[in-house]
Amino acid sequence: MQYTTFTDQGSRQYNEDSYGMEVHGDSRCFVLADGLGGHGGGDVASQTAVRVVCELFKLEGFSDSFFEKAFNRAQEAILAEQEKAHNHDGMKTTLVVLIISDGKVHYAHVGDSRLYVINDGHIKQRTLDHSVPQMLVLSKEIKEKDIRHHPDRSRLLRVLGVQGESPKCDIAKPLKLKGNLSFLLCSDGYWELVEDKDIEAANKAAEDTDEWISRMNTIVRKNGEGTDMDNYTAVAVWVSEGDISLESSDRENDGKIFKVEFEEPGKWNPLKRRKKEKDRKQKSEPQPDIEAQPGTELIPEGQTALLPEDKTELS
């Protein structure tokens, strides 16, 4: 298993995005949050959410109740920070969490920070934004491609840190870990400037997560040139069935890379990943596949619907 993280404040004075990674035994947890409210507000909210989730995972690992407990605790911690700062309106955050445990992949989110699931160079799933444009797509008023440039793309329907509300997160159906899979967690400042086809192309061309991030960063910066760029943050993860070793790279604004290895370094060599895939195809072995899931639908207020299995409203 290998991952690379990247963050940049863009054109903004402060960076309100946060991310983290934690280990519990052979299980891994990756977290990303995008704060709302400015300096002393959004950054505190996102940092708090990431810290709470990572601490809980380190202590308890994954269970069927993990997401419910994690999102509730993050909400409580953010509300406590609001009280201390006397800032009830300017301290909110999105949150997306990826967990790899016992041969399965689990993820949940609230807000418009996304997680993409990529298999064989193709996006198989992604989280659905809790935003006005996403709701318009679901109601077939606009097309998916229009989200990135919609005037209401920053209007969110769900976040953490809203007084008097229990957090509502979407929990995806677990995926079995088969073959080589890629995951991308990213804030809206990132995905708004890189199209799905470019995410796929960069993934296919890359030899490791560093290169995957670098290729996407080039596109993000090109598309954001001359604009008021938001903070943009991404966590790229590659994992193979049976992996227990993990390598990481953290990339900040200055381009420095910090390498960390956990447990059995060198067990999985990401540079051999593409060669193994080519060899497997030449031998005509069946390729791993993931059944595409449509995700969960947002229901406009005032309407009712049967909730799909992967939709959870926390109380």
Is the pLDDT reported for residue 171 higher than 80? yes
**Cβ atoms of 152 and 133 closer than 8 Å:** yes
Question: What pLDDT does residue 293 have?
Answer: 32
CA-CA-CA-CA torsion sign (43, 196, 68, 134): positive
Residue 314 — very low, low, confident or very high, per pLDDT cuts 50/70/90? very low
Model confidence pLDDT, tens digit, residues 70-122: 999 999 999 999 999 999 888 999 999 999 999 999 999 999 999 999 999 99
Residue 39 — very low, low, confident or very high, per pLDDT cuts 50/70/90? confident
Model confidence pLDDT, tens digit, residues 12-25: 999 999 999 999 99
CA-CA-CA-CA torsion sign (174, 2, 51, 93): negative
**Exposed/middle/buried for residue 73 (C-beta within 10 Å: 0-12, 13-18, 19+):** middle
Question: What pLDDT does residue 249 have?
Answer: 58
Averaged confidence pLDDT in the chain: 82
Per the model's pLDDT, the better-predicted residue between 179 and 188 turns out to be: 188
Is the pLDDT reported for residue 184 higher than 50? yes
Model confidence pLDDT, tens digit, residues 211-263: 999 999 999 999 999 999 999 999 999 997 666 455 555 554 433 222 222 22
**Exposed/middle/buried for residue 305 (C-beta within 10 Å: 0-12, 13-18, 19+):** exposed
H/E stretch holding 260? strand 257-262
Question: What pLDDT does residue 154 have?
Answer: 85
Question: What pLDDT does residue 179 have?
Answer: 82
Residue corresponding to tokens 């077939």? 140
Q: Tell me the domains of the chain and their CATH numbers.
A: 2-313 (3.60.40.10)
